[in-house]
């Protein structure tokens, strides 16, 4: 797509209702301080009870002709006031600015630069932070690149939002009945039709944290959560995703509970040596309990279990597997030196499902419906890979998606507790990620073969990293599914044995990672309070 030839005109729409006068002035001054001049500011006073409010706005409008005051003769609330501003907008793009917030001086110029790169941008958002009553900036939210799955679980784009005016009008503008989540509802509808969505990774908006604001307390406006829930559900219905939106464990977040097509045949592919271990004080054959919990944790009927077992696997383990899985079991013997990638490729070649789920033999399912939630997103044609949320035996996080940055491959949020939401809710919402672990992941079988499966020259380490890169190269999304939860009884203290040859092979093929597209490194770093040393590698299926 060719670049634009000239910068656009921005219509900044600001609905106003009785803000403190000094705060309102600071908001208006932040617009006047822009180092970009092609803007108009439409300020809609929603019948503020304080007479000074429209007077102050009128004074600013007299000083600068780009500022227009609209005075409503009744209080219609934020949707009505915003639509009044939208109706009068002359700009090619709408910029949403709340009456007590601040734009960074370079906000419009940086947005204009991003828009000039492509002529088909229909929605753009930036990073943001908060500003306290003392004028101090804090709480920077460095957002992921475009993440439609995360938007379903959280209005993460929020400030600063810039939308193509024509498209906003085409979708009907702001909708009555969605007050408190009117922006979320609008952005969902706009991005359903947007040709291109752009993220500008700079803090260009300062969200004022005042008493009664959701910037301070997300529960301050409970009606907003209900409106957001309806917005997400209607979005799911419009785009044809069979799912139910429910409130999450954290206010202002939503969980998408998908329905898996009963006609889908799902093949679980599990490599094993049949080893036993002590878990929660009892000795168990890991693969047997893994299969038992996997089948007990799903209502989906068409499931086969493909177990690729090394020839030394004890007969008692194979007999137990036959008892647990019955006629759903496919046993595939493996008689060669250890190679995780080869074992997985062999297992998939024996699978008959149109969906394949990779499972380590040291997992145990926690959440009922884990399989449905993990596999159902693959019905979206641009989703290529999904991964579950995994915990150690002590219920601290082992895996919540991969992040690749600072020349390394990382498990973000490792060792956080199960009830922690993460800095901006990352652990409670489904979202796009750069990669997931093959300890529990799912793909369409056709996609698996399309990208070439696991790379067998990576027998132990980084094979799942390589697979994730291949999925991305195919133009497909990878999702972290927060509501598919399992234990992963991998040792928390093991010393990783990483073959330098394998690391160099991945770097040679894909380059050295610098900054992750979906999680900034300062948020992704593991919780160092829990461990003295952080393993640097991502082992096969680990």
Extents of the domains making up the chain: 10-231, 266-524
Q: What separation in angstroms does the CA of 62 have from each of 14, 23, 68, 234, 424?
A: 17, 19, 9, 43, 41
Q: What separation in angstroms does the CA of 438 have from each of 56, 372, 506?
A: 60, 17, 16
* pLDDT class of 539 with cuts at 50, 70, 90: very low
Q: Which residues contact 536 (CB under 8 A, 6 or more apart)?
A: 408, 496, 498
Contact predicate 126/107, CB 8 Å: yes
Q: Look over the chain and give the mean of its residue pLDDT values, rounded to a whole number.
A: 92
pLDDT at 491: 62
Helices 21-32 and 52-63 pack at an angle, to 10 degrees, of 20
Asked if residue 542 has pLDDT above 70, the reply is no
Which segment of 12-16, 228-232, 249-253, 284-288 scores lowest on mean pLDDT? 249-253
**H or E, element range at 257:** strand 254-258
Whole-number Å distance between alpha carbons of 344 and 15:
57
Q: What is the bridge-based pairing of β-strands 243-247 and 39-45?
A: unpaired
Higher-confidence position of 278 and 484: 484
Helix, strand or coil, per DSSP, at residue 431? strand
Q: What is the bridge-based pairing of β-strands 10-16 and 93-96?
A: parallel
Question: Which runs of consecutive H residues, i.e. helices, occur in 240-355?
Answer: 286-296, 315-325, 340-349
Q: What is the bridge-based pairing of β-strands 10-16 and 329-334?
A: unpaired
Whole-number Å distance between alpha carbons of 453 and 241:
27
Asked if residue 533 has pLDDT above 50, the reply is no
Neighbours of 195 (CB within 10 A): 13
Q: What is the pLDDT of residues 130-141, one digit of tens each?
A: 999 899 999 999
pLDDT at 525: 62
Q: What is the pLDDT of residues 281-292, one digit of tens each?
A: 888 899 999 999
| C-alpha torsion angle, residues 346, 351, 356, 361 (rounded to 10) | -60
Q: What are phi and psi of 34, to 5 degrees?
A: -65, 140
The predicted model gives 7-34 an average pLDDT of 97
Measured at the CA of 172, the angle between CA 28 and CA 144, to 5 degrees, comes to 65
Q: What is the bridge-based pairing of β-strands 243-247 and 93-96?
A: unpaired
Asked if residue 429 has pLDDT above 80, the reply is yes
Nearest Cα to Cα of residue 466 among 481, 451, 445, 450 = 451
Asked if residue 368 has pLDDT above 50, the reply is yes
Helix, strand or coil, per DSSP, at residue 359? strand
Whole-number Å distance between alpha carbons of 419 and 249:
9
Whole-number Å distance between alpha carbons of 184 and 178:
9
Neighbours of 1 (CB within 10 A): 10
Q: What are phi and psi of 87, to 5 degrees?
A: -60, -30
Neighbours of 505 (CB within 10 A): 17
Classify residue 166 as left (phi > 0), alpha (psi -120 to 50) or beta.
alpha
pLDDT at 280: 79
pLDDT at 6: 84
Domain 266-524 in CATH 3.40.50.300? no
Q: What is the bridge-based pairing of β-strands 266-272 and 383-391?
A: unpaired
Asked if residue 460 has pLDDT above 80, the reply is yes
Which segment of 342-346, 420-424, 450-454, 467-471 scores lowest on mean pLDDT? 420-424
CATH number belonging to the domain at 10-231, selected among 3.90.1170.40, 3.40.470.10, 3.40.50.2020, 3.90.550.10: 3.90.550.10
Q: What is the CA radius of gyration of the chain?
A: 26
pLDDT at 1: 67
Whole-number Å distance between alpha carbons of 366 and 391:
9
Q: What is the bridge-based pairing of β-strands 329-334 and 403-405?
A: unpaired
Contact predicate 110/200, CB 8 Å: yes
Asked if residue 98 has pLDDT above 50, the reply is yes
Whole-number Å distance between alpha carbons of 276 and 287:
8
**Dihedral angle sign, alpha carbons of residues 500, 503, 509, 515:** negative
Nearest Cα to Cα of residue 32 among 133, 136, 137, 103 = 103
The predicted model gives 451-461 an average pLDDT of 96
pLDDT at 219: 56
Cross-strand pairs, 266: 303, 355
Whole-number Å distance between alpha carbons of 39 and 94:
10
pLDDT at 381: 97
């Amino acid at each position: 797509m060719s670049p634009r030839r000239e910068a656009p005109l921005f219509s900044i729409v600001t609905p106003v209702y009785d803000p403190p006068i000094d705060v309102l002035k600071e908001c208006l001054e932040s617009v006047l301080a822009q180092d970009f001049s092609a803007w108009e500011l439409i300020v809609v006073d929603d019948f503020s009870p304080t007479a000074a409010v429209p007077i102050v706005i009128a004074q600013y409008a007299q000083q600068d002709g780009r500022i227009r005051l609209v005075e409503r003769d009744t209080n219609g609330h934020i949707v009505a006031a915003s639509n009044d501003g939208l109706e009068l907008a002359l700009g090619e793009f709408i910029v949403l600015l709340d009456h007590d917030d601040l734009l960074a001086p370079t906000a419009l110029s940086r947005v204009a630069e991003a828009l000039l790169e492509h002529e088909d941008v229909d929605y753009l958002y930036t990073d943001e932070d908060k500003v306290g009553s003392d004028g101090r900036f804090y709480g920077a939210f460095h957002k992921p690149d475009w993440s439609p799955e995360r938007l379903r679980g959280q209005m993460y784009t929020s400030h600063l939002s810039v939308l193509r005016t024509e498209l906003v009008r085409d979708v009907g503008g702001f909708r009555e009945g969605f007050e408190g989540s009117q922006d979320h509802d609008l952005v969902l509808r706009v991005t359903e039709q947007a040709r291109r969505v752009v993220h500008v990774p700079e803090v260009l908006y300062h969200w004022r944290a005042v008493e009664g604001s959701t910037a301070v307390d997300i529960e301050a406006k409970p009606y907003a959560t209900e409106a957001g829930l309806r917005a997400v559900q209607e979005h799911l219905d419009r785009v044809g995703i069979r799912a139910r939106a429910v409130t999450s464990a954290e206010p202002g977040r939503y969980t998408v509970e998908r329905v898996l097509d009963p006609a889908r045949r799902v093949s679980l592919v599990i490599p094993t040596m049949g080893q036993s271990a002590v878990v929660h004080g009892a000795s168990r054959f890991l693969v047997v309990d893994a299969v038992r919990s996997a089948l007990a944790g799903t209502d989906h009927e068409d499931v086969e279990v493909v177990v690729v077992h090394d020839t030394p696997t004890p007969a008692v383990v194979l007999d137990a597997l036959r008892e647990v899985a019955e006629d759903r079991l496919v046993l595939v013997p493996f008689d060669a030196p250890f190679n995780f990638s080869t074992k997985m490729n062999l297992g998939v070649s024996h699978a008959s499902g149109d969906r394949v789920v990779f499972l380590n033999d040291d997992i145990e399912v926690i959440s009922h419906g884990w399989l449905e939630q993990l596999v159902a997103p693959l019905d979206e044609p641009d989703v290529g890979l999904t991964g579950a949320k995994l915990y150690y035996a002590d219920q601290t996080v082992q895996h919540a998606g991969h992040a690749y940055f600072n020349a390394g491959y990382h498990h973000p949020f490792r060792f956080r507790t199960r009830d922690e939401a993460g800095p901006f809710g990352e652990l409670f919402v489904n979202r796009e990620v750069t990669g997931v672990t093959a300890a529990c992941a799912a793909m369409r079988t056709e996609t698996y073969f399309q990208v070439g499966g696991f790379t067998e020259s990576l027998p132990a380490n980084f094979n799942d990293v390589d697979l994730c890169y291949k999925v991305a190269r195919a133009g497909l999304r990878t999702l972290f599914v927060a509501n598919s939860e399992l234990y992963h009884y991998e040792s928390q203290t093991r010393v990783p044995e990483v073959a330098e040859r394998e690391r160099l092979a991945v770097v040679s093929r894909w380059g050295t990672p610098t900054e992750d597209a979906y999680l900034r490194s300062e948020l992704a770093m593991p919780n160092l309070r829990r461990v003295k040393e952080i393993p640097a590698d991502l082992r096969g299926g680990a």
